[in-house]
C-alpha cells in the first residue's frame, strides 16, 4: 500500500448468496468507507465473476435508514435505549413469561440471513438449548425441510445434502429451480451461466423442467413444462422407465441398499402414459429424457424449492434421490455428490435412530414438528391458541409478515403478543410490530467464514472474510447479541457461557482426534487454537480437526484459520467433489432403506390425490395455479430499500400465458385480481408465453404496504405479497408450507 494513500485492498467473499464469489474491496481507511467492490480474477472459484448482488452489503452498510442502536417503542414513537438496559429488559420480560406460562409461551422465528453469519449460527444453538421452546419457526419450513428429511431418512443425517457435480456432468436435469437467478440454491456455484455453457461446450446437455420458461430454461437445451405440484408423479414415471429399460444399477452402494425390489414394484404402476394428463408432460418426451438419463454415465437429477414447497414436497425429493441411487448416479463423478466441508461436519442435526420429526405437535392444529420446527405458516394460530398463547416472541433476521403464508393475519396477530423483540437492522413489516429492536453490525463490520455454504458447494473450498470497516461506536455483532441473551436467560455472564461453548467444542475435537487416530489433549488444543473473536476460534477448532486440517501441528501442511488468513485470496480451492459413501452413512447399520416409512406412509395420500386430479374439471378458465419467482436483483424481501435494486420497470407483476389472458379479458398492464384461500391482491398483468397455460406467477418478497415501517424506498415500490393470498396448506408429510401450485382465481380487477 502506498504510504500517501488512504485506501487498502482487501479480499473477501460476497455474503449475499450461496455462491460466495471472491471479491476485491477497496477500503478508504480515512473515511471508514468502501470505495469499490469488484470480482477477484484470481479467485479459483469465481474467477472475477460477480452479479449485481455483490454491491449489496455496501449499500446496506450506507443505508441511512439502517438502525445502528437499540430502539424501544414508546407512546412518543421509537426511542434510543442503551444496550445494557435493552438486554436486561429482554431477559427480564422473557424470563417472566416463561415462569408464568411455561417455556413454550416463548416463540422464536429465524430468517435465512442467519445462514450467512457463522457466529450467529453458533450462538443460536446455545440460545435454543437455553430456551428449549417447542414454538420454534424459521424460513426453513418455507424452503428446504423436505430435502432435510430425505437426507435423514436415506443417509442418516438431515444436513448431508447432495449437490449436482456440475463441473463434470454430461446431463444436468433441473427441476423446480432457477439457478441462473438464484446463483445456485443448495448448489453453490459462482457464475452458473458460464458453468452451464461449459457443460454444453463439452458436449453435455441441460434440461429444465418447470411450469415457467425461466432464465435458466432460456439457456437450456430443452425445457419441459410441468403442472405445478405434480413432480412426484413425473418422477414415479421416470423411475418406471428406468426399470423398464433395465437401467437399474446401484453401483458401489449396492451392498448398503434395502428394499430395492419393493421400490421397483411401486413404480410399475406409473407408466408415463398414465401420468401425462396429470403432469402435463407428454409421455414420449418423458420416456426420451429418462432413456437419455439412463444412457448418460455422468448425469445429475436436481430439484429445489419448486419441489420442496408443494403439496408432495417430501415424496418428490425422496423420488429424486432414489432415482439417483438406483441408476448408479449418486455419489459418483458427474452425478449427485456431497461436498467435503473443511469444518468436517454437516451442520447441526439429528443422526442415527432418533427421528427428527413428530417429537411434539403444534398446540392448535396438532401438526408434527420436523427438524425441531413447526411450520412457519402456523405462527399466527400458535400466537392466538386459546389458553396456550405465545406471550413472548423473538424474531431474528426475519420478516415473516412478508415471507410466510397468511402474512396479513400474522401482522394482526402480533398485536396480541405481550412482548416482541426483533434482532434486525430495519423497521420493516414485522419489526414495526415489536416492542424492542436490537440491530447488529453488517457484513463490512465483522469477519465471517462461509461454513454453511461449504456444505453445498459443487467444488470443495475454504474461505475467510476479514472485517473491512470499524463499526460505529456501540454497534454489536449479531452473534454477541444472541450470546448475551442466552447467557442472561441462563443467569450467566456472556463470557461464562462462551467458555462453556468452547469447552464443549474442545471435547468434540478431542473425540474427532480419537476417531481419526490423533492423540490430542484439551490443554494442547487450548494452547494452539486461534482467532480474533470467539467465533473465529470455534472455526479454527473445526477446520484444524476437519478433513483437510493440520491437527494442531500433526499435519504441518494442513488447513487452519491462520493459513486461510495469510492466503492471497479469500478462498482456497480444496478440489473436486469426492466419493464419500458408504463411509459417511449415519443410518443404523449404514443401511439405505429406499422404502423408509417416512416416505411410504404418505403414499396413500399421494394415490388419493392422483385419482382426484384425474377426475378434476378444468373447464373454469378463471381457476389457475400460482407459483413464485425471483429476480437477479431480489433476495426475498431484503433488498427493496436499496435504490439500485428496485430501479427500472415494475417486477411485481402477474405473469400469465397469452391464451389465459385472452380468455380472462386481461391485457398487458391492466390490474388483475388474484384470490386465494387467505385473501385477494391486485397487481398489473404481464402477458408472456414463458408461463405454462393454467399457471400464473407472482414474485416473492414484495408487499411493503404497512404503516409504521421506516423503509421509504421499499414503500415507494411496494408491490403486493403473494403470501397474503396463500393459506396455511401443508405438505403434511414434512410439515412444509405449500406456496407453489396453490389454487387461485384470477379475473380483471
pLDDT tens-place string over residues 474-500: 899 999 999 999 999 999 999 999 999
Q: Is the pLDDT of residue 518 over 80?
A: yes
In angstroms, the CA 139 to CA 399 distance is 9
| Contact indicator for 46, 21 with CB cutoff of 8 Å | yes
Q: Which pLDDT score, from 0 to 100, does residue 335 have?
A: 98
CA 576 from centroid of its chain's CA atoms: 23
Strands of the 299-303 sheet, one edge to the other: 222-224, 205-209, 171-175, 299-303
| Contact indicator for 337, 163 with CB cutoff of 8 Å | yes
Q: Which pLDDT score, from 0 to 100, does residue 161 have?
A: 95
Q: For strand 33-39 and strand 71-74, is the pairing parallel, antiparallel, or unpaired?
A: unpaired
In angstroms, the CA 313 to CA 466 distance is 39
Nearest to 728, CA basis, from 720, 736, 717, 718: 736
Is the four-CA dihedral 218, 223, 229, 231 of positive or negative sign?
Answer: negative
Residue 2 pLDDT class (50, 70, 90 cuts): very low
How do residues 633-642 score in pLDDT, each as one tens digit? 888 888 899 9
Q: Is 36 helix (H, G, I), strand (E, B) or coil?
A: strand
Residue 350 pLDDT class (50, 70, 90 cuts): low
Residue corresponding to grid cell 413404480 = 267
Q: Is the pLDDT of residue 351 over 90?
A: no
Q: How many helices (H) and strands (E) does the chain have?
A: 26, 30
Q: Is the pLDDT of residue 438 over 60?
A: yes
**pTM reported for the whole predicted model:** 0.96
How do the domains of the chain map onto residue ranges? 164-337, 617-748
Q: Is the pLDDT of residue 6 over 90?
A: no
Nearest to 34, CA basis, from 71, 72, 6: 6
Name the CATH superfamily for 164-337. Answer: Dimethylsulfoxide Reductase, domain 2 (3.40.228.10)
How do residues 204-223 score in pLDDT, each as one tens digit? 999 999 999 999 999 999 99
DSSP string for 49-86:
---GGGGHHHHHHH-TTS--S-EEEETTEEEE--HHHH
CA 60 from centroid of its chain's CA atoms: 21
* pLDDT averaged over every residue in the chain: 95
Average pLDDT, stretch 642-650? 90
- HSE-up of residue 666 (Cα within 13 Å, Cβ side): 30
How do residues 22-35 score in pLDDT, each as one tens digit? 999 999 988 999 99
Q: Which pLDDT score, from 0 to 100, does residue 313 have?
A: 98
CATH of 617-748, one of 2.40.40.20, 2.30.31.70, 3.40.50.150, 3.20.20.60: 2.40.40.20
Residue 286 pLDDT class (50, 70, 90 cuts): very high
> What is the 8-class DSSP label of residue 361?
E
In angstroms, the CA 460 to CA 474 distance is 37
Residue 444 pLDDT class (50, 70, 90 cuts): very high
Q: Is 681 helix (H, G, I), strand (E, B) or coil?
A: strand
In angstroms, the CA 558 to CA 518 distance is 14
Q: Which pLDDT score, from 0 to 100, does residue 636 have?
A: 85
How do residues 470-481 score in pLDDT, each as one tens digit? 998 889 999 999
Q: Is the pLDDT of residue 353 over 80?
A: no
**What is the share, in percent, of the chain residues with pLDDT greater than 90?**
90
What region, left, alpha or beta, does residue 213 occupy, with left being phi > 0 and alpha being psi -120 to 50 degrees? beta
Q: Is 207 helix (H, G, I), strand (E, B) or coil?
A: strand
* Residue 3 burial (CB count, 10 A): 4
Q: Is the pLDDT of residue 505 over 90?
A: yes
In angstroms, the CA 315 to CA 501 distance is 38
Amino acid at each position: 500500500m502506498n504510504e500517501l494513500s488512504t485506501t487498502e485492498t482487501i479480499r473477501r467473499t460476497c455474503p449475499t448468496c450461496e455462491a460466495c464469489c471472491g471479491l476485491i474491496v477497496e477500503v478508504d481507511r480515512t473515511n471508514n468507507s468502501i470505495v469499490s467492490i469488484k470480482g477477484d480474477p484470481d479467485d479459483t472459484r469465481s474467477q472475477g465473476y460477480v452479479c449485481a448482488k455483490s454491491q449489496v452489503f455496501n449499500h446496506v452498510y450506507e443505508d441511512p435508514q439502517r438502525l445502528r442502536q437499540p430502539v424501544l417503542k414508546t407512546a412518543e414513537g421509537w426511542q434510543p435505549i442503551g444496550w445494557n438496559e435493552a438486554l436486561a429488559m429482554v431477559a427480564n420480560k422473557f424470563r417472566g413469561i416463561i415462569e408464568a406460562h411455561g417455556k413454550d409461551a416463548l416463540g422464536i422465528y429465524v430468517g435465512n440471513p442467519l445462514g450467512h453469519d457463522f457466529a450467529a449460527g453458533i450462538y443460536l444453538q446455545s440460545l435454543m438449548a437455553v430456551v428449549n421452546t417447542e414454538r420454534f419457526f424459521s424460513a426453513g419450513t418455507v424452503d428446504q425441510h423436505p430435502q432435510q428429511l430425505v437426507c435423514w431418512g436415506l443417509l442418516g443425517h438431515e444436513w448431508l445434502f447432495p449437490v449436482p457435480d456440475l463441473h463434470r456432468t454430461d446431463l444436468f436435469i433441473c427441476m423446480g429451480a432457477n439457478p441462473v437467478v438464484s446463483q445456485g440454491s443448495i448448489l453453490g456455484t459462482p457464475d452458473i451461466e458460464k458453468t452451464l455453457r461449459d457443460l454444453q461446450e463439452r458436449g453435455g446437455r441441460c434440461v429444465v423442467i418447470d411450469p415457467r420458461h425461466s432464465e435458466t430454461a432460456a439457456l437450456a437445451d430443452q425445457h419441459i413444462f410441468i403442472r405445478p405440484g405434480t413432480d412426484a408423479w413425473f418422477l414415479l414415471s421416470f423411475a418406471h422407465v428406468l426399470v423398464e429399460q433395465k437401467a437399474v444399477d446401484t453401483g458401489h452402494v449396492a451392498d448398503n441398499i434395502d428394499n430395492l425390489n419393493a421400490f421397483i414394484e411401486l413404480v410399475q404402476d406409473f407408466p408415463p402414459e398414465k401420468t401425462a394428463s396429470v403432469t402435463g408432460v407428454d409421455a414420449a418426451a418423458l420416456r426420451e429424457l429418462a432413456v437419455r438419463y439412463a444412457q448418460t454415465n455422468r448425469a445429475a437429477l436436481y430439484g429445489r424449492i419448486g419441489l420442496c414447497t408443494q403439496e408432495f414436497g417430501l415424496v418428490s425429493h425422496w423420488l429424486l434421490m432414489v432415482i439417483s441411487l438406483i441408476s448408479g448416479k449418486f455419489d459418483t463423478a458427474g452425478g449427485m455428490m456431497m461436498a467435503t466441508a473443511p469444518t468436517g461436519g454437516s451442520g447441526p442435526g439429528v443422526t442415527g435412530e432418533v427421528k427428527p420429526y413428530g417429537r411434539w405437535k403444534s398446540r392448535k392444529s396438532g401438526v408434527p414438528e420436523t427438524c425441531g420446527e413447526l411450520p412457519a405458516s402456523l405462527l399466527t394460530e400458535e400466537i392466538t391458541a386459546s389458553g396456550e398463547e405465545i406471550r413472548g416472541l423473538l424474531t431474528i433476521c426475519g420478516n415473516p409478515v412478508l415471507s410466510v403464508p397468511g402474512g396479513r393475519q400474522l401482522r394482526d396477530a402480533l398485536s396480541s403478543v405481550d412482548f416482541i423483540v426483533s434482532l434486525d437492522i430495519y423497521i420493516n413489516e414485522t419489526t414495526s410490530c415489536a416492542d424492542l429492536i436490537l440491530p447488529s453490525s453488517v457484513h463490512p463490520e465483522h469477519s465471517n467464514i462461509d461454513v454453511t455454504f461449504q456444505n453445498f458447494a459443487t467444488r470443495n473450498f475454504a474461505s475467510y472474510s476479514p472485517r473491512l470497516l470499524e463499526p460505529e461506536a456501540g454497534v454489536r455483532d449479531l452473534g454477541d447479541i444472541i450470546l448475551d441473551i442466552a447467557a442472561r436467560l441462563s443467569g450467566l455472564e456472556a463470557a461464562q457461557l462462551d467458555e462453556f461453548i468452547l469447552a464443549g467444542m474442545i471435547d468434540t475435537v478431542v473425540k474427532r482426534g480419537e476417531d481419526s487416530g490423533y492423540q490430542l489433549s484439551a490443554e494442547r488444543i487450548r494452547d494452539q487454537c486461534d482467532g480474533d473473536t470467539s467465533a473465529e476460534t470455534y472455526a479454527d477448532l473445526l477446520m484444524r480437526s476437519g478433513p483437510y486440517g493440520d491437527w494442531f501441528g500433526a499435519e504441518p501442511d494442513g488447513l487452519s484459520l491462520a493459513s486461510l488468513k495469510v492466503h492471497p485470496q479469500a478462498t482456497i480451492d480444496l478440489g473436486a467433489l469426492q466419493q464419500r459413501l458408504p463411509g459417511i452413512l449415519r443410518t443404523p447399520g449404514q443401511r439405505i432403506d429406499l422404502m423408509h416409512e417416512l416416505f411410504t406412509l404418505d403414499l396413500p395420500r399421494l394415490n388419493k390425490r392422483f385419482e382426484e386430479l384425474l377426475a378434476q374439471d378444468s373447464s373454469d378458465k378463471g381457476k389457475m395455479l400460482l407459483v413464485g419467482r425471483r429476480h437477479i436483483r431480489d433476495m426475498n424481501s431484503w433488498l427493496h430499500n436499496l435504490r439500485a435494486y428496485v430501479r427500472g420497470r415494475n417486477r411485481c407483476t402477474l405473469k400469465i400465458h397469452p391464451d389465459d389472458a385472452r380468455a380472462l379479458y386481461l391485457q398487458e398492464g391492466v390490474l388483475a385480481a388474484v384470490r386465494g384461500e387467505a385473501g385477494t391482491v391486485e397487481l398489473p398483468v404481464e402477458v408472456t408465453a414463458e408461463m405454462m397455460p393454467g399457471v400464473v406467477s407472482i414474485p416473492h418478497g414484495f408487499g411493503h404496504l404497512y404503516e409504521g415501517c421506516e423503509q421509504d424506498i421499499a414503500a415507494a415500490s411496494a408491490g403486493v405479497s403473494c403470501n397474503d393470498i396463500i393459506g396455511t396448506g401443508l405438505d403434511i408429510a414434512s410439515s412444509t408450507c405449500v406456496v407453489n401450485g396453490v389454487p387461485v382465481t384470477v379475473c380483471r380487477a
